[in-house]
């Protein structure tokens, strides 16, 4: 590998980082596909460090699922985690919860999110 201090080394590092991010986005998209087999029409947002592009080796893939989810927290979590196969870290909101939080301006963490 080229030294990072060289222009070619920086370009190689940048390309490798872009490939890593693409792989993480594919992993998130695959989660969304698996989930939608059971919850058609669910919205899935990729947010956090992967969406921003500043993830590290210990980062998870932050996902917000908006859909017809169980009201009971453990049942909701069990449903969302059933589709995890890697680094996905899903959280879920019903459509009503999402609407209320959006109206209250409490979804600031979705700034820059990617809808999958």
- Has residue 5 got a pLDDT over 80? no
Structure confidence at residue 79 (pLDDT): 98
What are the chain's domains?
7-115 (3.30.460.10)
Q: How many CB atoms lie within 10 A of CB 73?
A: 10
Q: What is the pLDDT of residue 95?
A: 97
pLDDT (tens digit per residue) in 52-74: 999 998 899 999 999 999 999 99
Q: How many CB atoms lie under 10 A from the CB of residue 52?
A: 11
pLDDT digits (tens, 9 = 90+) for 83-107: 999 999 999 999 999 999 999 999 9
CA dihedral (48, 16, 11, 59) in degrees, to 10, reads 30
């Amino acid at each position: 590998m080229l030294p990072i201090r060289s222009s070619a080394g920086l370009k190689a590092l940048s390309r490798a980082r872009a490939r890593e991010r693409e792989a993480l986005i594919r992993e998130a998209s695959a989660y969304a596909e698996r989930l939608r087999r059971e919850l058609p029409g669910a919205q899935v947002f990729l947010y956090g460090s992967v969406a921003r592009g500043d993830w590290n080796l210990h980062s998870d893939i932050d996902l917000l699922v908006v859909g017809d989810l169980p009201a009971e927290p453990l049942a909701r979590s069990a449903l969302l985690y059933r589709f995890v196969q890697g680094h996905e870290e899903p959280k879920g909101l019903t459509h009503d919860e999402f609407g209320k939080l959006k109206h209250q301006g409490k979804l600031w963490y979705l700034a820059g999110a990617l809808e999958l």
